[in-house]
Amino acid sequence: MNKNTQKHIFQFIAIILLFLGLFWWGRGNTGGTASLPTEKQIKSGSFLSAQEKSFDFGTISMTDGNVQKIFTVINNTDKDIKLDSLVTSCMCTTAFLEMSGERMGPFGMPGHGGLVPKVNEIIKAGESVDAVVVFDPTAHGPDGVGFVERYVYFVDSSGGALELQITANVTR
């Protein structure tokens, strides 16, 4: 093998190692990324509960802009629960987590508009947090009229998921 070939092989390996290093470093800084829960996680439920699990916005017009609903999520157990992630079922819906006077987010649908970071927060026994769910009726454009049903998922470290639902009838 001549020196020129060795140089190209070395450069190729260095570039691959650089990309792998950046990928590893980037994942470490974000605390991982969230994904939608599986059907099994949703069916198994969560130790977290909510005062309301669904809310109907009724008829809303695209011209009126975004609407929001605050859901209160409670840890009714005697143990702290680690909230791994908060994700939505559609890119038209985002959620913010409010706990200890701090607002975190936005959290959205994995795979749309970038990576959704994990929450990685503890909800202490007997405490509650607020989830501010924001629905954008214009997100799907003029064809996005009619009945919509969207979900917000709280996934805890036990692998269970709490499912919250919003519905609306979108008009132009």
Within this chain, do residues 90 and 160 fall inside the same structural domain, yes or no?
A: yes
Within this chain, do residues 111 and 159 fall inside the same structural domain, yes or no?
A: yes
Within this chain, do residues 84 and 10 fall inside the same structural domain, yes or no?
A: no
Confidence of residue 32 (pLDDT cuts 50, 70, 90): low
Within this chain, do residues 97 and 165 fall inside the same structural domain, yes or no?
A: yes
pLDDT at position 100 over 70 = yes
pTM: 0.76
CB neighbourhood size of 146 (10 A): 10
pLDDT at position 135 over 80 = yes
Within this chain, do residues 62 and 147 fall inside the same structural domain, yes or no?
A: yes
Within this chain, do residues 5 and 47 fall inside the same structural domain, yes or no?
A: no
Within this chain, do residues 9 and 72 fall inside the same structural domain, yes or no?
A: no
Report the domain count for the chain. Answer: 2
Q: Which residue has the higher pLDDT, 118 or 70?
A: 70
Q: How far apart are CA 126 and CA 76, in angstroms?
A: 5
CB neighbourhood size of 149 (10 A): 12
Q: How far is CA 164 from the centre of its chain?
A: 12
Output the CA–CA distances (angstroms, integers) from residue 171 to 36, 61, 116, 120, 168, in the order listed.
28, 5, 29, 37, 9
> How does DSSP classify residue 90?
S
Within this chain, do residues 25 and 50 fall inside the same structural domain, yes or no?
A: no
Q: How far apart are CA 76 and CA 80, in angstroms?
A: 10
Q: Which residue has the higher pLDDT, 14 or 136?
A: 136
| Domain that includes residue 100, residue range | 39-171
Which of 23-32, 35-44, 86-95, 161-170 has the lowest average pLDDT? 23-32
